[in-house]
Structure 1
Amino acid sequence: MSAVVLALLAGAVAGLALGGMGGGGSVLAVPALIHLLGFSPVEATTASLVIVAITTATSLYAHGRDGNVRWRPGLLFAGAGLLPAVAGGLLATRLPEVLLTAAFSVLAAVAAVGMLRARDDAPPAGDPSALRAAGAGAGLGAVTGLLGVGGGFLGVPALVRVVGLPIRAAVGTSLLVISLTSTASLAARGGTLAGLDWSVVGPFTAAAVLGAWDGRRLAARVSGRTVRRVFGVALLAVAALMLVDALVMR
């Protein structure tokens, strides 16, 4: 199977996750770029940021039109993560590939467990602490910059539990946060863009954009619990694969 076909298939799956759940696309994109398309970990995380930044920006429009984006808390949350995202992006280019791969596997496993254990209960009412929201946003930005993931699979739970948004608003607002932090961390990796294979990144991104629109429609028809369980199992498999890869690289 050609690299372009693989890129289109992987991009469609990543886009479905981003559009349907407000995150998770990059957690699938990075291992696909490494294991299916032959990218190095640094190249894969940089390419993932390109794919995620463009895909979330286009999907954000649709969610905003539906009234599912809370602009003020989203901008506060994202603003706290911009500098950590840039710092993480600079640090990522100086760390050993085996360390990045191992860290990614751990993050994927944590995200998978969180999705499998997530409940559909609405968060308790209350006025969220601005300091807690800023802290969560800063942590998400650092993860985005360091590992090349949008962080939506962490951002959505944080927007629900810390900021107090309902799940649909959290998904839409997460896309705003991801778009801004991904762009900021990508700016810190500008020197690594020239080495990317754009004949692969381009089709991957195009398929992800189209997949995100389908994911938004699918999310409206399928229960959130079912989507999370399927995606959680897939993430566990990804985590195991990346951990094995990290051990082999030692």
Structure 2
Amino acid sequence: MEILGLTLPLLVLFVSFGFMVGVLFGFFGMGGSFLITPTLLILDYPASVAIGSGLAFYFGTSVIAVIKHYDVGQVDYKLGAVLFVVLSIGIELGSRLVFGLEALGIAELVTGIAYIVLLAGIGLLFLRRAYNLTDDDDDEADEDADDDIPPIGQKIQSYNVPPMISLTSGGRASLWTISGAGGGVGLISGLIGVGGGFIRMPAIHYLIGTPLTAAVGTSLFAGLFSGAFGTFTYGMSGSVDLAVVSMLLIGSALGAKIGSAATTMVEENDVIVYFGMMMLFASAGIALSELADWIGMGGLEMLSVLLLVGSSFFVALMILYQVAQTVSTDGSPTQTAPEGGD
């Protein structure tokens, strides 16, 4: 039995996976395509289809996040517009590179290796942040760290390399810095099929030098349009599976609402650890998939799917569990969790 060209097990998988990714998206502010694309690759979708569908899913989920941040004034529209242009150029170059790699027959290998390195690196950074968070709490008790520009951002802003652009959040940034940061993120987005929020937001915060809250909103604003452009680029070549994207978005719509509500109920320290673990498990899952293709072991392929999909389910379930636990005890929010880009 097939619905929209999908078997019933795949339909259930995509809707439930979309729900869990939606919970993560609502909580962390990330589109989730960094999980969608490698999952589709493991399920033997062509690299271009996996990447195009991942970008399409990111575009759909980003609409909700942009509206949320627009309402609270956390978007630098001028910076976002410039980033959109350079991100689009980077995505176009990245997509052309993917099609070239497909012609050589190595697109899946290159994309898989890129994912392994990126996800493992980000996972380790999150775990390191969780390890240092307790020590940082004492130093930051009297200041709002989210509104600070990091030292590296201040240093980069101190170099006056025309043309300079005034930032809504304060300060000025060189167009060359913005172009380099945005173009590099766009290239990675087009190459591996992610919205790029988990690298775009840190780039805006640390390299361009904006406060974290403005970096999150501006990242999502720029990602909305770059995601639309990436979807269009891959869609024109028939590389977006609308059935898969639709099922993912159906599940994500409900999950995102629950995840957004959870930000006031879940302790930050625990979730940072869970998220770092999820990244590492996802990286290990993709590595096992690549190894399975190389040595031809089907068992490793199944284990890779369990690690990749199961890690996101685990973190989302932990968020839902802590929400349920908070509501059952006193129903009061405990701490607002941070949002990021995805």
Q: Give the TM-score of the pair, scaled to structure 2.
A: 0.65
Larger radius of gyration between Structure 1 and Structure 2: 2
Contact 1:16/1:208 (8 A) holds in 2: yes
From 91, 104, 112, give the equivalent of 2:123. Answer: 112
Q: CA deviation at 1:57?
A: 1.8
Name stretches of at least 5 consecutive residues in structure 1 with no aligned partner: none
Q: Secondary structure at the match of 2:100?
A: coil
Q: CA deviation at 1:172?
A: 2.3
Match of 1:189 in 2: 234
Separation in 2, partners of 1:193, 1:14: 25
Q: Secondary structure at the match of 1:2?
A: helix
Which aligned pairs between 1:1-250 and structure 2 lie closer than 5 A?
A: 2-23=9-30, 25-35=32-42, 37-95=43-101, 96=106, 97-118=108-129, 121=145, 122-124=148-150, 126=154, 127=171, 129-130=173-174, 131-193=176-238, 196=241, 198-250=242-294
1:88-115 Cα deviation digits (max 9, x unpaired): 1122122122121111221211222232
**Cα pair distance change 1:47/1:86, threshold 3 Å:** same
**Cα pair distance change 1:217/1:229, threshold 3 Å:** same
Q: CA deviation at 1:41?
A: 3.1
Contact 1:145/1:186 (8 A) holds in 2: no
**Cα pair distance change 1:5/1:157, threshold 3 Å:** same
Query: CA RMSD for the aligned pairs?
Result: 2.4
Contact 1:144/1:182 (8 A) holds in 2: no
Separation in 1, partners of 2:267, 2:215: 16
Separation in 2, partners of 1:129, 1:162: 9
Separation in 1, partners of 2:74, 2:11: 34
1:95-151 Cα deviation digits (max 9, x unpaired): 122121111221211222232234674434743532223211111111111110011
Q: CA deviation at 1:16?
A: 2.6
Q: CA deviation at 1:155?
A: 1.5
Q: Secondary structure at the match of 1:129?
A: strand
User: Higher relative contact order at CA 8 Å, sep ≥6: structure 1 or structure 2?
Assistant: 1
Q: Give the TM-score of the pair, scaled to structure 1.
A: 0.87
The range that moved more, 111-120 or 52-61, is 111-120
Q: What number of residue pairs does the alignment pair up? A: 248
Separation in 1, partners of 2:44, 2:187: 26
- Partner AA of 2:114 in structure 1: A
Name stretches of at least 5 consecutive residues in structure 2 with no aligned partner: 1-7, 137-144, 155-170, 295-342
- Partner AA of 1:154 in structure 2: I
Contact 1:84/1:139 (8 A) holds in 2: yes
